[in-house]
C-alpha cells in the first residue's frame, strides 16, 4: 500500500519561477505592514499599535510553494489573511499577476494591486483562495458538502445548478472523496478530520485559483491522514498549477511541502532560502534555535541545545532595533545601536536579516 | 471501501450518475435531507414530556377555535349563542349557573360563556402568533446586523434596546391604548415591535456575535461572499433555532398583555378572555368568591393553560436546539 | 513482595467501555503493561485509540458513562480500581498526578497561580505551615524554569508556555511517584516545548519519579521515553524499548506511523501514507482490527486476533511481525 503514487514527491525546485530573476512572479509582496490598534475606541485614538506584520517583502512564482514558518504570534497567519484580503494592510503592496493577464489587459494594468476593493475584489477572489487550519470550525455545520464546496461558484455567480454540481463532483473525485455522489448531501460532522480537510481543499480549488493560502492545513490531523492530505496538496499543485503560501509552525512539514521557506519572527521575515539550503545551512540565530528545538523521531539522535532565552512577546510599539535582540545569543553592541537589519542575500537565493552573519 | 485513500490519477468519470441529471432530482434530494433533519428534531421534541404535553394543549385549543364557527353555523342559534349580542331568554336570573343548555353558564349580560370562550380562542392565537412573528423577524434581523457590522450600528440598536427594556411595557401599553383605539392587530404589532427591538434583539445579537467569529465566516468571505450573503446564508440560519424559542415566549407574553389590558377595559375588541373577566369584574361578581366561578375559571384557566403550553413548547424546543440540555437515557 | 522495589505500576488486562446512545463503545481492550520506578513510558497512537482513556482510568477520572469491565491497576501492589473515592482523592497528586493537554482549564482564573499550588500542597498535608508551602512552591517554580515572583500573578497574565510550566509545577508539588502527562506540549511552540521536555527529563531522575507520556507525536515520545507502547483501536499492539520500537518497528501499524512522520534532519526520505480511516470502535472489523489498512494482511488476520510475538521485553500483537526475531507465544 505504501506505493510511490501516494508519496509526497520532492518539490521540483526548477519549477519555481521566482528563483529565476527574469521570470515574472505570480505574487510580489513589498513592504507589507499590518498594525493592530491597542486600546482605541470609536471616538478615542489608540494608545499604541501591535506590529503584527512589519515591512515584509517576498516574491512567489507560478506554481511555487513558499513556506511561512514561525512560532504562534509571529504574524504568519496575518500575512496569509492579508493576501486573501480578509484584512486590509496598513501599508505596502500586494501585487498579483495571473497567467491570463499577460495577454490583453496586461499592457495597461499589469498588476492587481492591494488597493482594489468591492466588485474587483470579488473577481480577484477567483484567483486567490485559502485553506483554513481547523477542518471542523471552517465549515458551516448546517450546510451540506455540496453547499460548502459550491459556495465560491454560487456567490460569484458561475454557472447554473447543473454546472456547479458537475464541478463539485469533479473536484470531489480529484481530492479522493469517492464515490463523489455519496458525499454531496452529507454534513461535515459525518466526515472524519482527514475527509473534512479534503473538502476544505476542494472548496479552495473548485474555482481553479492560481494561488492558495494554506494556513496549517495538516496541524489538526492525525498522522495517518496527514500524509495523505500533504501528498494530495502536492499532486493538485502540479496538476492544476496552483501556487501555495504554506503557513505552518512545523518545519518538518514545510520541508516536504515547500520549495522555499521564509522564517518569520515577531512580524519580520528574518530568513528566506530554498528548503534544503535553509535546513542544512541556517544562518540566522533564530532559525538555528528553531531548527534545533524540533524533536526528531529517531531515538538515537542527539540535538544541539537551542540557546535562546525568554519567550516571544507581543510586538507592541517595538523599538526600531533588531526584534530578536533580547533573545539572541549572538547579539552585539552593533545590534543594539542600529535599526532592524535589512534582508541581505548572503549566498544566491539565501536572504538573511542579521548583522552578525 | 476506503474513501480517503491514495489519490488516483485523474480519471474522466461519468459525472452526475449518482444523483442523476436535472434540477428536479437535485431539489428532491435536498427536500429529503430537510425532511430527515425535521424528523430528527421532531423525535427529540416528542421524547420530552414537556413537548408532548404542550403540543397536546395547543392542539386542543386550536380545535376549540375551529369548533366555534361550526357550532354557530349548525348547532347554536345566533340570537341566543352569539358571544357578544346573544341573550339567553329562558334563564330566570343572569348570570345563570351551568346547565345542559349552557354547559358553562351565562354571563351577567345573559350571554353563553362557552361560546365566548371558544370565540376568543381564535383571537388569542392570531394575536400571539402575529406578535411572535413580528418580534422574531425584527429581532433576528437587528441582532444579525448589529453583530455583523458592530461599531455604530451595534451601538444604535443596543441603546434602543436598553431604552425599550427600561420602559415598563404594560404601563406603556396602557398609555397607548388610552391615546389610540387599539384593536387586535395594532396590539400585536406594538407588542411585536417592543419585543423585537428590545430584549430578544440583545439575546439574538450575542448569539450572532459568537457565530460571526467562527472561521467559516472567514471562509465564506474568501469564497467571495458579500455582507448580504454572509448575514442571510451563514449567520441568520444559526439564529433561527433560538429565534423560534423566543417566538414561543413572545406568544405567552402577548396573550398575557392582552388579558391585562382587556381586564382594565382598554382594548377595542369584540370579545376575549380578558374581556370576559372584565365583564365579571364590572358587575362586582369577582367579589362573590367561588359562588360565580363559571364567570372567572374558564377564561382564567384558558389564559394560564395556553400561556404555559407555549412556554413549555419553548422549553422543549430548547432541548432540540441545545443538545447539552438533553437528558441522557443510558 | 520482591518486585515492589522496581515495579511501580502494573496494569493488568484493563478493559473499559462507554455506554452511549448508539450502544456500548469498547474504548480500551485488554491493556497490560508494567512501569518501573524512575522510568518513562510513552503511549502513542492516533486520536480515539484509547490512550487518554487509559490515563483517565489510572487517575480514576472517568465520566459517568464509563464502565471498567475487567482488569487491575496495581500501584505499589494495591489495586487503584478498588479504592473508594475518598481513598483515591488522597492518592491523587500525592501518588499519581496528571498534566492535562489544556493547561488553561486547570488553573482557576480568579486565584493567584501560587495560591492554587499552595492549596494543593496544604490539602494533602505535604507541608504543614504556610511558609513551608510557599518555599516549596518557589523551589518548584525554579525547577520548571519560572521566576518565583510569578507566584503572585493570575493565570491570564501567563503565556501558554508559562501556564503549562505552572501546571507541571502543580503536578510535582506533592512529590508524586507517578506523573501522567497527556499531550503536555501539543499546544505549544517548538522552542517552548523543547524547554519543557528538557526540564521534565532533568527533574525526573533526581526525584526518582516515573512518567507516562501520552502523545500522538512520535518524535516527542522518541526523545523522552525509555519504553513505548503503541495503541490502535483500544489495544496495545506493540511494546518495547523506545529505541528498538522506532528503529525497527515490528507491527505494520508502528512501521506506518514511523514512516509517515516527517523529520527535519537526515536524508529527506519519502513519506508513506496509511490508507483508510481509523476504525469505528463500536463496529470493529473481525480479527486484527488493523487488517483492512495493512499491506501484509492474510486470511488469518481477517478472522483471528493475533497472539503476541515476543523477544525479551519486546512484543507485538501481529501474525506477521516485521522483525523476525520475535517469536509467537502460545
Q: What is the DSSP string of C3-19?
A: TTTTEEEEEEEEEEEEE
Burial class (CB in 10 A: 0-12, 13-18, 19+), B241: middle
Instruction: Answer whether residue A260 shows pLDDT above 90.
Output: yes
Chains that touch B (3 or more CB pairs under 8 A): A, C
Instruction: Name chain A contacts of C257, Cβ cutoff 8 Å.
Output: 223-224
Query: What is the C-alpha separation between A98 and A124, in angstroms, rounded?
Result: 10
Regarding an ipTM greater than 0.95, the answer is: no
Sign of the four-CA dihedral A47, A53, A57, A59:
negative
Q: Who among A6, A132, A179 is closest to B7 (CB)?
A: A6
What pLDDT does B59 receive?
Answer: 93
Read off the pLDDT band of A111 (50, 70, 90). Answer: very low
Mark yes or no for CB contact B3/C277 under 8 Å. Answer: yes
Query: What is the C-alpha separation between A313 and A339, in angstroms, rounded?
Result: 19
Instruction: Answer whether residue A62 shows pLDDT above 50.
Output: yes
Task: For residues C293-303, give the mean pLDDT.
Answer: 89
Span C74-109, pLDDT tens digits: 888 888 888 888 888 888 888 888 888 766 677 888
Nearest CA in chain B to C22: B330
Read off the pLDDT band of B167 (50, 70, 90). Answer: confident
Span B238-268, pLDDT tens digits: 888 888 888 888 888 888 888 888 888 777 7
Instruction: Using only the alpha carbons of chain A, give its radius of gyration.
Output: 21
- Assess whether the previous peptide bond of B288 is cis (omega < 30° from 0): no
Query: What is the C-alpha separation between C232 and C46, in angstroms, rounded?
Result: 7
- Put simply, whether A238 touches B (Cβ < 8 Å) is no
> And the C-alpha cell for B205?
445579537
Query: What is the C-alpha separation between A207 and A150, in angstroms, rounded?
Result: 9
| Residue A149 CB partners (closer than 8 Å, separation 6+) | A168, A171, A172, A199, A202, A203, A206
Read off the pLDDT band of A22 (50, 70, 90). Answer: very low
Question: In the beta sheet, which residues pair with residue A32?
Answer: A56
> And the C-alpha cell for C159?
503565556
What pLDDT does A112 receive?
Answer: 44
Judged by average pLDDT, the poorest of A37-41, A342-346, B43-47, C76-80 is A37-41
Instruction: Answer whether residue A106 shows pLDDT above 70.
Output: no
Sign of the four-CA dihedral B129, B132, B136, B137:
positive
Span C186-237, pLDDT tens digits: 777 888 788 888 888 888 888 888 999 998 888 889 888 999 999 998 899 9
C-facing residues of B in 5-24 (CB < 8 A) are: 5-6
Chains that touch C (3 or more CB pairs under 8 A): A, B
Read off the pLDDT band of B286 (50, 70, 90). Answer: confident
- Mean pLDDT for chain C? 85
Instruction: Name chain A contacts of B8, Cβ cutoff 8 Å.
Output: 5, 176
The secondary structure of residue A112, as a DSSP letter, is B
Query: What is the C-alpha separation between B98 and B94, in angstroms, rounded?
Result: 11
Task: For residues B175-201, give the mean pLDDT.
Answer: 85
> And the C-alpha cell for C219?
518524535
Span B77-134, pLDDT tens digits: 877 788 878 777 777 777 778 888 888 888 888 888 888 888 888 888 888 889 999 9
> And the C-alpha cell for C125?
498535608
Mark yes or no for CB contact B4/C276 under 8 Å. Answer: yes
B to C CB pairs, distance under 8 Å: 18
Mark yes or no for CB contact C268/A276 under 8 Å. Answer: yes
Strand A350-352 vs strand A268-274: parallel, antiparallel, or unpaired?
Answer: antiparallel
Burial class (CB in 10 A: 0-12, 13-18, 19+), B285: buried
Read off the pLDDT band of B28 (50, 70, 90). Answer: confident
Query: What is the C-alpha separation between A42 and A37, in angstroms, rounded?
Result: 12
Instruction: Name chain C contacts of B5, Cβ cutoff 8 Å.
Output: 275-276
C73 touches C9 (CB < 8 A): yes
What pLDDT does B23 receive?
Answer: 64
The DSSP H or E segment spanning A271 is strand A268-274
Q: Where are the domains of chain B?
A: 50-325
Task: For residues B282-307, give the mean pLDDT.
Answer: 83
Task: For residues A13-19, give the mean pLDDT.
Answer: 39
Query: What is the C-alpha separation between A134 and A200, in angstroms, rounded?
Result: 9
Question: In the beta sheet, which residues pair with residue C99?
Answer: C181
- Assess whether the previous peptide bond of A179 is cis (omega < 30° from 0): yes
- Put simply, whether A255 touches C (Cβ < 8 Å) is yes
> And the C-alpha cell for B190?
406594538
**Interface residues of chain C, partner chain B, Cβ below 8 Å:** 19, 21, 65, 273, 275-277, 292-293
What pLDDT does C20 receive?
Answer: 80
3-state secondary structure of A142: coil
C215 touches C44 (CB < 8 A): yes
Mark yes or no for CB contact C278/A222 under 8 Å. Answer: yes
CA dihedral A149, A153, A159, A161 (to 10 degrees): 40
What pLDDT does C328 receive?
Answer: 77
Read off the pLDDT band of A306 (50, 70, 90). Answer: low
If you count DSSP H runs as helices and E runs as strands, how many of each does chain A have, helices first? Answer: 10, 11
Instruction: Name chain B contacts of A194, Cβ cutoff 8 Å.
Output: 4
What pLDDT does B22 receive?
Answer: 58
Q: Where are the domains of chain A?
A: 1-139+211-218+244-357
- Put simply, whether B4 touches C (Cβ < 8 Å) is yes
- Put simply, whether A227 touches C (Cβ < 8 Å) is yes
Residue C125, sorted as left (phi over 0), alpha (psi -120 to 50) or beta, turns out to be: left
Instruction: Answer whether residue C259 shows pLDDT above 70.
Output: yes
Instruction: Answer whether residue A263 shows pLDDT above 90.
Output: yes
A152 touches A129 (CB < 8 A): yes
- Mean pLDDT for chain A? 79
Model pTM?
0.81
Read off the pLDDT band of A125 (50, 70, 90). Answer: low
What pLDDT does B97 receive?
Answer: 80
Distances (CA, A) of C219 to A223, B209, C314: 12, 40, 20
A212 touches A205 (CB < 8 A): yes
State the DSSP string of C217-239: -HHHHHHH-SEEEEEETTEEEEE
CATH of domain B50-325: 1.10.3720.10
State the DSSP string of A64-111: -EEEEE--TTSSHHHHHHHHTTSS--SEEEEEE--GGGGTTGGGT---
Instruction: Answer whether residue A63 shows pLDDT above 80.
Output: yes
Q: In what order do the strands lie in the sheet with A27-38?
A: A48-60, A27-38, A91-96
Instruction: Name chain B contacts of C19, Cβ cutoff 8 Å.
Output: 330
Sign of the four-CA dihedral A45, A47, A50, A53:
positive
A to B CB pairs, distance under 8 Å: 126
Alpha helix segments (H runs only) across C28-73? 51-58
Read off the pLDDT band of A122 (50, 70, 90). Answer: very low
CATH of A1-139+211-218+244-357 given 3.40.640.10, 1.10.1040.10, 3.10.310.10, 3.40.50.300: 3.40.50.300
Amino acid at each position: 500500500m505504501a506505493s510511490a503514487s501516494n508519496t509526497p514527491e520532492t518539490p521540483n525546485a526548477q519549477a519555481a519561477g521566482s528563483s529565476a530573476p527574469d521570470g515574472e512572479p505570480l505574487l510580489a509582496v513589498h513592504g507589507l505592514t499590518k498594525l493592530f490598534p491597542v486600546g482605541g475606541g470609536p471616538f478615542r485614538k489608540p494608545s499604541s499599535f501591535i506590529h503584527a506584520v512589519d515591512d515584509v517583502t517576498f516574491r512567489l512564482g507560478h506554481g511555487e510553494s513558499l513556506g511561512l514558518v514561525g512560532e504562534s504570534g509571529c504574524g504568519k497567519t496575518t500575512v496569509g489573511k492579508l493576501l486573501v484580503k480578509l484584512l486590509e494592510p496598513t501599508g505596502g503592496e500586494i501585487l498579483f499577476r495571473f497567467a491570463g493577464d499577460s495577454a490583453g489587459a496586461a499592457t495597461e494594468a499589469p498588476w492587481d494591486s492591494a488597493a482594489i476593493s468591492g466588485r474587483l475584489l470579488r473577481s480577484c477572489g477567483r484567483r486567490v483562495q485559502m485553506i483554513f487550519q481547523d477542518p471542523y470550525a471552517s465549515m458551516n455545520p448546517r450546510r451540506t458538502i455540496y453547499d460548502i464546496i459550491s459556495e465560491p461558484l454560487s456567490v460569484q455567480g458561475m454557472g447554473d445548478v447543473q454546472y456547479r454540481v458537475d464541478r463539485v463532483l469533479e473536484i470531489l473525485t480529484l481530492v479522493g472523496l469517492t464515490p463523489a455522489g455519496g458525499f454531496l448531501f452529507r454534513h461535515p460532522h459525518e466526515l472524519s478530520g482527514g475527509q473534512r480537510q479534503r473538502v476544505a481543499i476542494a472548496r479552495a480549488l473548485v474555482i481553479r485559483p492560481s494561488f492558495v493560502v494554506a494556513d496549517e492545513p495538516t496541524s489538526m490531523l492525525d498522522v495517518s491522514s496527514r500524509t495523505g492530505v500533504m501528498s494530495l496538496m502536492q499532486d493538485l499543485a502540479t496538476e492544476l498549477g496552483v501556487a501555495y503560501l504554506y503557513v505552518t509552525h512545523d518545519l518538518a512539514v514545510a520541508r516536504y511541502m515547500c520549495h522555499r521557506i521564509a522564517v518569520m519572527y515577531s512580524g519580520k521575515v528574518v530568513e528566506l532560502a530554498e528548503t534544503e539550503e535553509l535546513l542544512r545551512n541556517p544562518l540566522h540565530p533564530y532559525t538555528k534555535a528553531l531548527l534545533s528545538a524540533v524533536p526528531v523521531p529517531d531515538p538515537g539522535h542527539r540535538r544541539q541545545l537551542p540557546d535562546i532565552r525568554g519567550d516571544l512577546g507581543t510586538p507592541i510599539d517595538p523599538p526600531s532595533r533588531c526584534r530578536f535582540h533580547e533573545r539572541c545569543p549572538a547579539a552585539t553592541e552593533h545590534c543594539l545601536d542600529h535599526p532592524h537589519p535589512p534582508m541581505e542575500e548572503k549566498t544566491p537565493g539565501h536572504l538573511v536579516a542579521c548583522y552578525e552573519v | 471501501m476506503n474513501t480517503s485513500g491514495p489519490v488516483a490519477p485523474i480519471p474522466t468519470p461519468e459525472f452526475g450518475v449518482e444523483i442523476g441529471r436535472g434540477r428536479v432530482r437535485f431539489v428532491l434530494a435536498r427536500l429529503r435531507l430537510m425532511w430527515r433533519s425535521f424528523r430528527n428534531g421532531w423525535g427529540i421534541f416528542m421524547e420530552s414530556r414537556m413537548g408532548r404535553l404542550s403540543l397536546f394543549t395547543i392542539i386542543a385549543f386550536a380545535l376549540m377555535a375551529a369548533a366555534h364557527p361550526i357550532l354557530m353555523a349548525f348547532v347554536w342559534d345566533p340570537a341566543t349563542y352569539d358571544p357578544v349580542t346573544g341573550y339567553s331568554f329562558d334563564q330566570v336570573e343572569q348570570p345563570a349557573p351551568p346547565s345542559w343548555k349552557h354547559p358553562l353558564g351565562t354571563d351577567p349580560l345573559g350571554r353563553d360563556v362557552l361560546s365566548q370562550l371558544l370565540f376568543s380562542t381564535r383571537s388569542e392565537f392570531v394575536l400571539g402568533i402575529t406578535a411572535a412573528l413580528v418580534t422574531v423577524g425584527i429581532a433576528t434581523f437587528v441582532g444579525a446586523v448589529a453583530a455583523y457590522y458592530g461599531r455604530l450600528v451595534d451601538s444604535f440598536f443596543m441603546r434602543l434596546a436598553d431604552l425599550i427594556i427600561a420602559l415598563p411595557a404594560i404601563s406603556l401599553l396602557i398609555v397607548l391604548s388610552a391615546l389610540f383605539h387599539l384593536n387586535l392587530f395594532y396590539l400585536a404589532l406594538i407588542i411585536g415591535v417592543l419585543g423585537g427591538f428590545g430584549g430578544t434583539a440583545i439575546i439574538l445579537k450575542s448569539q450572532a456575535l459568537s457565530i460571526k467569529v467562527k472561521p467559516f465566516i472567514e471562509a465564506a468571505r474568501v469564497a467571495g461572499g458579500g455582507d448580504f450573503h454572509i448575514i442571510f446564508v451563514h449567520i441568520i440560519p444559526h439564529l433561527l433555532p433560538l429565534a423560534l424559542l423566543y417566538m414561543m415566549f413572545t406568544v405567552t407574553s402577548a396573550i398575557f398583555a392582552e388579558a391585562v389590558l382587556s381586564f382594565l377595559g382598554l382594548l377595542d375588541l369584540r370579545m376575549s378572555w380578558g374581556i370576559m373577566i372584565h365583564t365579571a369584574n364590572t358587575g362586582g361578581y369577582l367579589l362573590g368568591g367561588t359562588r360565580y366561578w363559571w364567570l372567572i375559571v374558564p377564561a382564567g384557566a384558558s389564559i394560564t393553560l395556553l400561556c404555559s403550553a407555549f412556554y413549555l413548547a419553548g422549553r422543549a424546543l430548547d432541548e432540540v436546539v441545545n443538545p447539552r440540555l438533553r437528558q441522557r437515557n443510558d | 513482595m520482591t518486585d515492589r522495589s522496581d515495579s511501580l505500576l502494573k496494569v493488568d488486562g484493563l478493559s473499559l467501555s462507554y455506554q452511549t446512545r448508539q450502544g456500548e463503545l469498547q474504548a480500551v481492550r485488554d491493556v497490560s503493561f508494567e512501569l518501573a520506578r524512575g522510568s518513562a513510558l510513552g503511549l502513542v497512537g492516533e486520536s480515539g485509540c484509547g490512550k487518554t482513556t487509559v490515563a483517565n482510568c489510572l487517575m480514576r477520572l472517568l465520566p459517568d458513562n464509563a464502565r471498567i469491565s475487567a482488569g487491575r491497576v496495581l500501584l505499589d501492589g494495591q489495586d487503584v480500581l478498588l479504592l473508594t473515592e475518598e481513598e483515591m482523592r488522597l492518592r491523587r497528586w500525592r501518588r499519581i498526578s496528571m498534566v492535562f493537554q489544556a493547561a488553561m482549564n486547570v488553573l482557576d482564573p480568579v486565584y493567584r497561580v501560587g495560591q492554587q499550588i499552595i492549596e494543593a500542597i496544604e490539602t494533602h498535608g505535604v507541608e504543614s505551615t504556610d511558609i513551608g508551602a510557599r518555599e516549596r512552591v518557589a523551589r518548584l517554580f525554579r525547577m520548571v524554569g519560572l521566576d518565583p515572583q510569578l507566584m503572585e500573578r493570575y493565570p491570564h497574565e501567563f503565556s501558554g508556555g508559562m501556564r503549562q510550566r505552572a501546571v507541571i509545577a502543580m503536578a510535582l508539588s506533592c512529590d508524586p511517584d507517578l506523573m501522567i502527562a497527556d499531550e503536555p506540549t501539543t499546544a505549544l511552540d517548538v522552542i517552548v516545548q523543547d524547554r519543557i521536555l528538557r526540564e521534565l527529563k532533568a527533574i525526573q531522575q533526581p526525584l526518582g519519579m516515573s512518567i507516562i507520556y501520552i502523545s500522538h507525536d512520535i518524535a516527542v515520545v522518541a526523545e523522552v521515553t525509555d519504553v513505548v507502547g503503541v495503541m490502535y483501536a483500544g489495544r496495545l499492539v506493540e511494546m518495547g524499548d523506545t529505541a528498538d520500537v522506532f528503529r525497527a518497528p515490528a507491527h505494520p501499524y508502528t512501521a506506518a506511523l514511523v514512516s509517515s512522520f516527517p523529520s527535519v534532519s537526515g536524508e529527506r526520505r519519502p513519506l508513506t501514507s496509511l490508507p483508510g480511516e481509523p476504525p469505528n470502535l463500536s463496529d470493529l472489523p473481525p480479527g486484527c482490527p488493523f487488517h483492512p489498512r495493512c499491506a501484509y494482511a492474510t486470511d488469518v488476520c481477517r478472522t483471528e486476533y493475533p497472539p503476541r510475538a515476543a523477544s525479551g521485553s519486546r512484543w507485538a500483537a501481529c501474525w506477521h511481525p516485521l522483525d523476525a526475531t520475535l517469536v509467537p507465544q502460545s
